[in-house]
């Protein structure tokens, strides 16, 4: 495990805490209400609708840029990056204008159960925030450019100005008008785009506004992008389906979003850091035919991901209620809301391993420019999620929605894992399986100890002290078991540190 990954994880923790501060400010100011639903929905909708195309372009961009740079040099590669970015911006602008023209039609399909009161906020909010797509395209392509050039920290740090502006927007809106909120969201994304363009320029990116639709490299990437678009639709369509199912319940969208926000801190901190470092390295190894390095990168990334995600998922599921109570129970968010959110969050927590592993495994195929396998798997995944979401939400309510996501992503991850082994020659399956079993054993013992400690301390002290005690004890037990079982992720990392001395 590379040390840059650890640095990224630490920075992600700080970033996620600031993101939590944003959600806490929102929940304290507006609770789980129509206004909070409108803010969260309008904030996430543009990326949800367009992330299919963005993800396809960015995912296909990294291996294509790497190949062009290796074969034709940096200047041609930068021209290609500009061309891709400009095409994306034009598509985003056109899509935004179409959405503004037919907002009622789009929202009628996306949130069919929304009340007239909610639509009174959603329509004007989304007509402004839809144009964050333009800035999102710039940020994502420049993030790919910087990651290829082994610059990982700055793109990750962009969440700090974003969240600071959004927190200020929520607070100011309470004193002025809720309808300034979408403009705050738009401004926050603009700042991100301006900052990353400035930094990319320092790293060798030269801005050009030319569009060359005849570029053979662009055409080749677009051919790859078609199955990528379908394959990347899983998260977006899943989010849209979840919000549609939850829209019939006042505060339902907020509850689903709050649960995802807590779970997202783990997925974002560990999954994003590991994938961001692994994907360019794996793409480079595959592009030059070094399958030994490619196999090593894949095994290291998957082991590292599970090393961090598994204990977090188990711990969050075990301590779901005290975590929700600790984070959100304040202001307009009371115990009644805590009891509703707890099972939603627990179901989401159980799916963290599948969510994170699926993102990593899909990129293994993209590195080989195999976009069809993840596409077919995604179709199966989203079909499973929709069917289960409809069935379980009717029987179980809101937490049936997140449980459907958990089951579907677990199935998808298992399929991709089995198929990914075929990409590597002489892959050491036994070593990986042994590592995974050790991680789950350590994680389950940690969860048991955390549960016992919380129950014991909870009878004597308040929720905060009990929760912190349980987490502290769980961390100690987990790393003690990691040491006893000699889990390779930690052993290799300690070895890297010693070699640097």
Q: Which residues of the chain have pLDDT under 70?
A: 1-6, 9, 32, 51-52, 55-56, 59, 224-225, 228-236, 247-251, 261, 263-273, 329-334, 426, 458-460, 490-501
Could you tell me which residues come within 8 angstroms of residue 259 by beta carbon, excluding any fewer than 6 positions away? 341, 344, 345, 348, 402
Q: Which of 164, 337, 359 is nearest to 256 (CA)?
A: 337
Tokens representing 278?
A: 């692994």
Distance between CA atoms of 367 and 85, rounded to whole angstroms?
20
Could you tell me which residues come within 8 angstroms of residue 9 by beta carbon, excluding any fewer than 6 positions away? 269, 270, 273, 308
**Residues 370-396 pLDDT 10s:** 878 888 888 888 888 888 888 887 787
Tokens representing 293?
A: 């390095």
Tokens representing 130?
A: 């839809």
Predicted pLDDT of residue 501: 47
**Residues 392-410 pLDDT 10s:** 877 877 778 888 888 988 9
Cα-only R_g, the chain: 22
DSSP code per residue over 370-419: --HHHHHHHHHHHHHHHHHHHHHHHHHTHHHHHHHHHHHHHHHHHHHHHH
Contact criterion met (CB below 8 Å) for 186 and 128: yes
Predicted pLDDT of residue 265: 67
Distance between CA atoms of 131 and 122, rounded to whole angstroms?
15
Could you tell me which residues come within 8 angstroms of residue 205 by beta carbon, excluding any fewer than 6 positions away? 78, 81, 142, 145, 197
Beta pairing partners, 333: 330
Contact criterion met (CB below 8 Å) for 392 and 345: no
Distance between CA atoms of 417 and 433, rounded to whole angstroms?
12
Q: Which of 38, 52, 46 is nearest to 237 (CA)?
A: 52
Q: Which of 312, 277, 319, 317 is nearest to 297 (CA)?
A: 277
Distance between CA atoms of 203 and 129, rounded to whole angstroms?
30
Coil/strand/helix, residue 446? helix
Tokens representing 237?
A: 């369509």
Tokens representing 239?
A: 């989010």
Q: What are phi and psi of 64, to 5 degrees?
A: -70, -45
Contact criterion met (CB below 8 Å) for 45 and 109: no
End-to-end CA distance of the chain: 17
> At which residue do the structure tokens 């590195």 appear?
367
Distance between CA atoms of 119 and 179, rounded to whole angstroms?
13
Predicted pLDDT of residue 30: 79
Contact criterion met (CB below 8 Å) for 369 and 224: yes
Distance between CA atoms of 330 and 405, rounded to whole angstroms?
28
Coil/strand/helix, residue 333? strand
Tokens representing 30?
A: 């507006």
User: Residue 331: left (phi > 0), alpha (psi -120 to 50), or beta?
Assistant: left
Q: Sign of torsion, CA 18 335 41 124?
A: negative
């Amino acid at each position: 495990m590379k040390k840059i990954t650890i640095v990224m994880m630490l920075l992600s923790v700080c970033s996620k805490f600031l993101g939590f501060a944003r959600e806490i400010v929102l929940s304290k100011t507006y609770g789980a209400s129509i206004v909070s639903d409108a803010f969260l929905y309008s904030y996430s909708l543009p990326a949800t609708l367009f992330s299919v195309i963005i993800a396809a372009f960015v995912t296909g961009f990294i291996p294509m840029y790497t190949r062009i740079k290796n074969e034709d040099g940096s200047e041609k590669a930068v021209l290609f990056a500009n061309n891709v970015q400009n095409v994306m911006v034009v598509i985003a602008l056109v899509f935004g204008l179409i959405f503004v023209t037919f907002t009622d039609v789009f929202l009628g399909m996306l949130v069919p159960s929304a009340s007239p009161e909610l639509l009174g906020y959603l329509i004007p909010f989304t007509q402004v925030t839809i144009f964050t797509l333009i800035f999102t395209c710039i940020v994502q392509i420049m993030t790919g450019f910087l990651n290829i050039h082994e610059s990982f920290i700055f793109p990750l740090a962009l969440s700090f100005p974003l969240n600071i502006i959004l927190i200020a927007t929520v607070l100011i809106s309470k004193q002025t008008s809720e309808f300034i909120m979408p403009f705050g969201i738009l401004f926050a994304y603009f700042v991100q785009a301006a900052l990353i363009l400035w930094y990319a320029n320092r790293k060798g990116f030269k801005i050009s506004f030319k569009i060359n639709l005849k570029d053979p490299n662009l055409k080749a990437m677009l051919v790859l992008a078609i199955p990528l678009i379908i394959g990347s639709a899983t998260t977006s369509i899943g989010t849209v389906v979840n919000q549609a199912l939850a829209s019939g319940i006042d505060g339902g969208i907020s509850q689903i979003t709050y649960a995802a926000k807590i779970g997202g801190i783990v997925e974002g901190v560990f999954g994003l850091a590991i994938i961001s470092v692994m994907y360019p390295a794996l793409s480079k190894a595959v592009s030059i035919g070094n399958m030994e390095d490619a196999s090593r990168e894949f095994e290291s990334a998957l082991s590292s991901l599970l090393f961090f995600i598994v204990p977090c998922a188990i711990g969050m599921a075990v301590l779901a209620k005290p975590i929700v109570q600790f984070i959100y129970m304040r202001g307009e968010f009371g115990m009644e809301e805590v009891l509703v959110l707890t099972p939603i969050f627990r179901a989401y927590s159980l799916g963290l391993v599948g969510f994170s592993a699926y993102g990593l495994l899909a990129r293994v195929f993209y590195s080989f420019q195999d976009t069809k396998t993840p596409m077919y798997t995604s179709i199966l995944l989203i079909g499973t999620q929709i069917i289960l979401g409809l069935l379980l939400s009717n029987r179980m309510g809101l937490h049936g929605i997140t449980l459907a996501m958990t089951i579907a992503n677990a199935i998808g991850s298992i399929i991709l894992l089995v198929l990914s082994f075929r990409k590597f020659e002489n892959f050491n399956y036994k070593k990986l399986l042994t590592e995974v079993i050790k991680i789950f054993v350590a994680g389950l013992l940690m969860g048991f100890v955390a549960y016992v400690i919380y129950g014991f301390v909870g009878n004597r002290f308040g929720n905060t002290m009990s929760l912190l005690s349980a987490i502290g004890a769980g961390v100690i037990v987990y790393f003690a078991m990691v040491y006893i079982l000699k889990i390779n992720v930690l052993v290799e990392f300690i070895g890297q540190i010693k070699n640097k001395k």
